[in-house]
Structure 1
Amino acid sequence: MSGSFSRSQQTRKPGITATTSGVVAAQHVVAAEVGADVLAAGGDAVDAAVAVSFAIGVVEPWMSGPAGGGAMMLWRADEGRAHALNYGMRSSAALDLDRYPLSGEGKASDLFPWEKVLEDRNVTGATSVAVPGTVAGISSAHTRFGRMAWAELLAPAVDLARKGLHVDWYAALVIAASARDLARDPDAAAMFLDDGQWPKGSGWTALAEQRLDQTRMADTLEHLAREGETAFYRGDIGQALVRDVTEKGGFLTMEDLRDYRVAWTDSLAIPFRDATVHAVPGLTAGPTLADALTRWESDYDARDAASPAAHVARADGLRAAYAERLAHMGDHESATAPGCTTHFSIVDRAGNMVAMTQTLLSIFGSKVVSPGTGMLLNNGIMWFDPERGRPNSMAPAKACLMNVCPVIGETAHRRFALGASGGRKIMPAVAQISAHLIEQDMSMQEAIEAPRLDASGGPQVVADERLAGPVTEALAARFPVAQAQRLPFPFAFACPAGVMREGATNSGTTETMSPWGDGVAEPDAARKRT
């Protein structure tokens, strides 16, 4: 067992509780406020999700955006049922596998320990861009369940992009961590860097302020607000994306965009103790979550959920579930890489819920900006194994295997919407938080703040330093164990966001150490956003 930290300092993030209004929990408080304002204006949880989706793509552009993909779980109070929606990315039908030869130089440099491809063509640059699905997904949900006008819901994101993202210390730190890769694309360098190499930042004084120039993105969002999904998949926005990706050497055609379809399905209903956890089936972390929870239910008693033995059983279950995923789904994602994802959860005053995860895959996606749209582009091609003949091998017109894990959980007396960002760490976090809520009847704040472990890849188990003592000693008797702190940067664990409804009372919160995340209740009047 390695790691030794001081545990004298404690950090808490008070959750929000509201008895007569809805709640939004998101990884950026400004986006959460946008969604809360939509709820205050009479919008449904899905309306708020539309607004949050586009707003968070502006204020947290390296994590997600319209040129990405993802999945969501929805709960409809009037139907008393859950719906699953997958809008993951796909490879282009025009993808040329001969452009991705193995280099013979070892393993790839990012999230997955694939064999390295020549020039990392599947990891960075336009050759790593997959067909995006986020706009199709959120538009489909809005068409089915939304109440408010599409243009009205996109207006806050347009306004935020016109102002440009304020580059505070956290934004500057995130940009600095990827500055070398961003410098390789002139359009990404122009947006995020000064002099093509230094990260933009606001200097050493709190009075200084620097903002990203997101004018082109604002124009694109305004166009999308007027014309809807058609502009993205069949119109001018799509044409600009195709032109930019093609000119930079990638594979994307108008046929790819026109043929893209989202997938509405029944939820994957996972019985656990006296509750049910609804997840997205198929090429997500949903099936792996079902595997882990099923193992936990048989391997330890709910009454012993806080015991060292239960923690060992959870680590065992997670390891076994990931071994099964690796064997049959081909997901080799590194357990140490952060991923580029954002999650938000919403409950409205009627009890409708949305748990939505959207992603560009890596931090800053492909590290390429589309000059015609102002959007960062995904690097979804990296999800595929570049070696032939594997369960998840690269191929044209193929759906990407994602680690997203949005869920809706329901017990006899309450319901919750939950998810997280953090690559392969997402499912273990969602599983443990769900178990805390179900087995120990914790509040959402208590469950998210509770110390967690991660056993999502490799022989090592990573334990929150607050588990030091009998728990880590029991873990260390079975596995190599490392202790880790919960820090604002970098994250050793996933970054969750959840909401809960108990009776008529709604609550919600986000990862304690997330510098920007928070839960926000709908206000009496619209707030001013900066």
Structure 2
Amino acid sequence: MSLPRFAVALSLFLLLSPALRAAERDADAPAPHPPGAAIASAHKLATEAGFEILHAGGNAFDAAVAVSSVLSVVEPISSGLGGGGFFLLHDQRSGKDVFIDARETAPAAATPQAYLLANGDFNRDRAENGPWAAGIPGLPAALVHLAKNYGKLPLKTSLGPAIRIARDGFPVYGRLVRGYASRRDVMDRYPGTRAVFQVNGQALKEGDLFKQPDLARTLQLLAERGHDGFYQGEVAKKLIAGVKAEGGQWTAKELAGYQVREREPLRFKYRDWQITTAPPPSSGGVAVAQMLQILEAWDLAKLDEVHRTHLTVEAMRRAFRDRTFYLGDPDFVDIPMKTLMSRDYAAGLRATINPEKATPSDIFSGQPTPLEDDETTHFSIIDGDGNRVAATQTVNLLFGSGLIPPGTGVLLNNEMDDFALKPGTPNAFGVMGFEANAPKPGKRMLSSMTPSFMESADEVAVLGTPGGSRIITMVLLGMLGYDQGLGAQEVAALPRFHHQWYPDVISAESGAFSPQVADALRKMGHTVDLPGDTASGGRGSSHVWGNLQTVSWNRRSNTLTGGADPRNPVGEAKVELSQPAAP
């Protein structure tokens, strides 16, 4: 694939430790620890913050607090303290994996009826914009939880870079300017938002210094008081007042009562890999497990591109159908996990695939039921002890709900749209849901975020990406890339395609398919949606997708590498090597 000429997106550093030189160990034995640390994030300042904390004596989990919080400052288009996220952790000393669920929760007032117009139609503006679009944020609680339970340094130290950057500012980059322009009609509704993103009534321009003193104050209170610094006291009062001023209905009790959940990650085998990934309320881990277990019967590397793509799409189709009907918040919904994760169930789905012909999605409707931008961010970390973090965080759409409660600097999410607010009605990403994902007070909306680990006898990989419903299929393609022997950079640059059951269309980014491959897939019965192409029955999919961040550790050669997604125009790819100690 010939990628467009975007600047390389991700800042990547490799810090090599002299303590573990390859010459000092058996060349045939896997290294017990990496030779240093690797961090891959969507912004150079976030990656640098992670290394600042490692240099201060922190571990991967302290670094995750720093990277996450700095991304909350420099990427408000994608994530922030007003949103949520998932953190997949591996503690090398204990061998324990844990999944930190910091997904937003539904306010009690956010009933399905609240999102209907007087005539019964779905009120999409309320679902996507302003106070009713926002769930109770989870990211601040996650940062406190990580520092308290897994880090080595005080929260004040790990939040230090974010506080400094919010106070002193950073240069505005092009994606922020373009994103604001595309959402300005919404963001200009709210005085708190205008106060942050405008100077004398004018929007920030590329190269301007973007200072956020209110956000710095909020981060400082979080650093000093932990959970109570955000969910109670000064910040909480301002959040509630700002939401109520715009017609929303948050309460002090539900804000103060927010807690992260520690969940057991999903684990399954694919060929020679042990996969550790996100459980519900993420739909991603279940869907990726289903897709890979369907595909494991074929040696994909030996197939031609057309048949390899066809089979992969058919696996995507079946997994997304199950996502629609069965998945939701496991604290509220009885999910048939044993069946959905079963190899026997996957074999049954596989048996319905015709190797030469597309399966129309309406065949899988199951029973008579209504039919049903990808701005998020991800970072990956491996430290010198072998601890690792895969974290995906979001405010959902570009700049979330667009609402900043005055005096907080906190841009609120619009994750309520990820609920099935009206059963069978597609959300902003075109995916549907039914009762399993209907809103209830305190319930967490279904997500596609899929932070994941891959581990074989020779290699450990950490990966994830933003991308809405396409997150799942981008992670799938990344895992298939690692299985085919690609390096981290090659995995990050892989061309991307996607199918989500409904609409019954293969969408693809620029350069993903040659005209010959696209035509062959159409002859199999697929509708193929290429960028700008509506004549063939597609809708004209977007140019490029996602911002996959990945790091890998080859335990045989004891080397670390990172994948810089070339689609993201922010930052640069960078390597930092320390000098080995003298023999």
TM-score range, shorter chain: 0.7 to 0.9
Alpha carbons of structure 1 residues 373 and 235: separation in structure 2 relative to 1, 3 Å: same
Counterpart position of 1:311: 309
Displacement of 1:97: 4.9
Matched, 1:180 2:232: no
Displacement of 1:101: 2.2
Unaligned runs of 5+ in 2: 18-35, 330-372, 424-433, 533-540
SS in 1 for 2:436: coil
Match of 2:398 among 363, 367, 377: 363
- Asked if 2 retains the 8 angstrom alpha-carbon contact of 1:414 and 1:502, the reply is yes
Matched, 1:391 2:443: no
Structure number with bigger Rg: 2
AA partner of residue 372 (structure 1): G
Displacement of 1:159: 1.0
Alpha carbons of structure 1 residues 518 and 412: separation in structure 2 relative to 1, 3 Å: farther
What's the CA shift string for 1:464-512, capped at 9, x where partnerless? 4143155434422331113349xxx965322211111112322212311
> Partners of 1:491 and 1:59 in 2: how far apart?
24
Counterpart position of 1:143: 148
Match of 1:413 among 451, 458, 463: 458
SS in 2 for 1:376: coil
Counterpart position of 1:40: 55
Matched, 1:342 2:373: no
SS in 2 for 1:462: strand
Counterpart position of 2:205: 201
Alpha carbons of structure 1 residues 374 and 362: separation in structure 2 relative to 1, 3 Å: same
Matched, 1:480 2:527: yes
Give the TM-score taking structure 1 as reference length: 0.86
> Partners of 1:8 and 1:513 in 2: how far apart?
8
AA partner of residue 46 (structure 1): F
- Asked if 2 retains the 8 angstrom alpha-carbon contact of 1:126 and 1:368, the reply is yes
Match of 1:155 among 151, 160, 168: 160
Counterpart position of 1:461: 506
What's the CA shift string for 1:150-193, capped at 9, x where partnerless? 10111111111112342233321121111111111122123224
SS in 1 for 2:288: helix
Give the TM-score taking structure 2 as reference length: 0.79
What's the CA shift string for 1:319-352, capped at 9, x where partnerless? 1111111122389xxxxxx133111111111111
Match of 1:424 among 469, 473, 477: 469
Match of 1:448 among 492, 504, 525: 492
With 450-459 and 137-146 compared, the bigger mean Cα shift is at 450-459
The structure that is strand-richer by fraction is 1
AA partner of residue 494 (structure 1): G
Matches within 5 A, 1:212-227: 212-227=210-225
With 354-363 and 71-80 compared, the bigger mean Cα shift is at 71-80
- Asked if 2 retains the 8 angstrom alpha-carbon contact of 1:351 and 1:501, the reply is no
> Partners of 1:25 and 1:345 in 2: how far apart?
5
Displacement of 1:523: 7.1
Match of 2:548 among 490, 493, 496: 496
AA partner of residue 444 (structure 1): A
Alpha carbons of structure 1 residues 237 and 61: separation in structure 2 relative to 1, 3 Å: same
Counterpart position of 1:122: 127
> Partners of 1:519 and 1:131 in 2: how far apart?
35
SS in 2 for 1:320: helix
Counterpart position of 1:74: 89
Match of 2:64 among 40, 49, 63: 49
Alpha carbons of structure 1 residues 182 and 505: separation in structure 2 relative to 1, 3 Å: same
Unaligned runs of 5+ in 1: 1-5, 106-114, 203-208, 332-337, 526-530
> Partners of 1:277 and 1:62 in 2: how far apart?
30
Counterpart position of 2:414: 379
AA partner of residue 498 (structure 1): T
Matched, 1:510 2:564: yes
Displacement of 1:460: 1.6
> Partners of 1:339 and 1:426 in 2: how far apart?
8
SS in 2 for 1:467: coil
Counterpart position of 1:294: 293
AA partner of residue 51 (structure 2): A
Alpha carbons of structure 1 residues 429 and 57: separation in structure 2 relative to 1, 3 Å: same
> Partners of 1:50 and 1:412 in 2: how far apart?
30
Displacement of 1:116: 2.5
With 312-321 and 257-266 compared, the bigger mean Cα shift is at 257-266
Alpha carbons of structure 1 residues 469 and 121: separation in structure 2 relative to 1, 3 Å: closer
SS in 1 for 2:294: helix
> Partners of 1:349 and 1:129 in 2: how far apart?
38
Aligned-residue Cα RMSD (Å) equals 2.7
SS in 1 for 2:171: coil
AA partner of residue 101 (structure 1): L
> Partners of 1:72 and 1:491 in 2: how far apart?
29
Displacement of 1:386: 2.3
AA partner of residue 319 (structure 2): A
Counterpart position of 1:31: 46
Alpha carbons of structure 1 residues 96 and 468: separation in structure 2 relative to 1, 3 Å: closer
- Asked if 2 retains the 8 angstrom alpha-carbon contact of 1:29 and 1:516, the reply is yes
AA partner of residue 495 (structure 1): N
> Partners of 1:370 and 1:226 in 2: how far apart?
21
> Partners of 1:78 and 1:8 in 2: how far apart?
40
What's the CA shift string for 1:366-413, capped at 9, x where partnerless? 110111211101112212222267332233222111111100111111
Alpha carbons of structure 1 residues 432 and 219: separation in structure 2 relative to 1, 3 Å: same
> Partners of 2:521 and 2:112 in 1: how far apart?
43
Alpha carbons of structure 1 residues 303 and 120: separation in structure 2 relative to 1, 3 Å: closer
Displacement of 1:134: 0.7
SS in 2 for 1:70: strand
With 137-146 and 90-99 compared, the bigger mean Cα shift is at 90-99
Counterpart position of 1:109: none
Displacement of 1:212: 2.9
